[in-house]
Amino acid sequence: MKRQGPVIVAFIIGMLMLIQFFTPNPFFLRLYNLFLDWKQVVLGCTLILGTWSLIRYHTRRIGRKQQNWQYSYVTLIGLTVMVVAAAVWKTDSGPYRWMFQSMQVPMQSTMFSLLAFYVASASYRAFRARSVAATLLLIAGALVMLGRVPVGALIGGSVGGHEVTVSTLADWILNVPNLAAKRGIMIGVGLGMTATAIKIILGIETTYLGKSD
């Protein structure tokens, strides 16, 4: 029953969510809102569990003196200070707001700035024209990158009485072939999610229960 119980609960809740999507019955609507409220409760519990796991992980690193264990002190101190600041002062003002705007936001900007160099390096390796597909990818990528900056609107000319610039070509690439491929990928993802949900509801997919005893 330790494994059958969660499967039965997943089947019942999954069927209720499926039924409420196709019926306007007020009972199922209230049930749906109740499940949404419970989801918030579960989310709060997972947040507490994640915080506890973070504390345990870094305290073990400090105790074992693992590589770069000094940074675990920074993590634990930052976690404690932010929690205390949020509990004592409002989150939209005071020290919490200052730490968020003056420390976390600049660090996030720095991280994404560094990520841009890794993306550029990966793009260089992917865009090397070794085949027809790679050549098309190289041309499309170059046009899109040039079209996203002001100079893209200055490069171009008149074709058939219409003004064509690199920016307009970039917009066409993003809105026609790129969007078509994106929709195909999203349809595939949606079908995969539907198949996985059906397998979970029917008890075929049980990996969310962990390893068998």
* Domain ranges for the chain: 1-88
**CA angle, 110 then 115 then 121, to 5°:** 140
Predicted confidence at residue 213, as pLDDT, reads 46
Predicted confidence at residue 55, as pLDDT, reads 92
Which tokens belong to 108?
Answer: 């996030």
Per-residue model confidence as pLDDT tens digits over 150-174: 766 667 666 666 677 878 888 888 8
Predicted confidence at residue 110, as pLDDT, reads 87
Query: Could you give the percent of the chain with pLDDT greater than 90?
Result: 11
Lowest mean pLDDT among 60-69, 104-113, 133-142, 183-192: 133-142
Per-residue model confidence as pLDDT tens digits over 11-20: 888 888 888 8
Q: How confident is the model at residue 139 (pLDDT cuts 50, 70, 90)?
A: confident
Three-state SS at 165 = strand
Q: Is the pLDDT of residue 31 over 90?
A: no
The whole-angstrom separation of Cα 156 and Cα 147 is 11
Q: How confident is the model at residue 188 (pLDDT cuts 50, 70, 90)?
A: very high
Q: How confident is the model at residue 142 (pLDDT cuts 50, 70, 90)?
A: confident
Q: Tell me how crowded residue 188 is: count the other CB atoms within 10 A of its CB.
A: 10
Three-state SS at 117 = helix
Q: Is the pLDDT of residue 79 over 70?
A: yes
- The candidate with the shortest Cα–Cα distance to 95, out of 87, 55, 74, is 87
**Coarse DSSP helix, strand, coil percentages of the chain, rounded to the nearest 5 percent:** 80, 5, 15
- The candidate with the shortest Cα–Cα distance to 154, out of 169, 165, 142, is 165
pTM equals 0.56
Q: Is the pLDDT of residue 186 over 90?
A: yes
| Mean per-residue pLDDT, 31-55 | 88
In sequence order, the 6+-apart residues with CB closer than 8 A to the CB of 20 are 28, 29, 31, 32
Predicted confidence at residue 211, as pLDDT, reads 58
Predicted confidence at residue 192, as pLDDT, reads 92
Predicted confidence at residue 185, as pLDDT, reads 95
The whole-angstrom separation of Cα 102 and Cα 31 is 43
Predicted confidence at residue 189, as pLDDT, reads 94
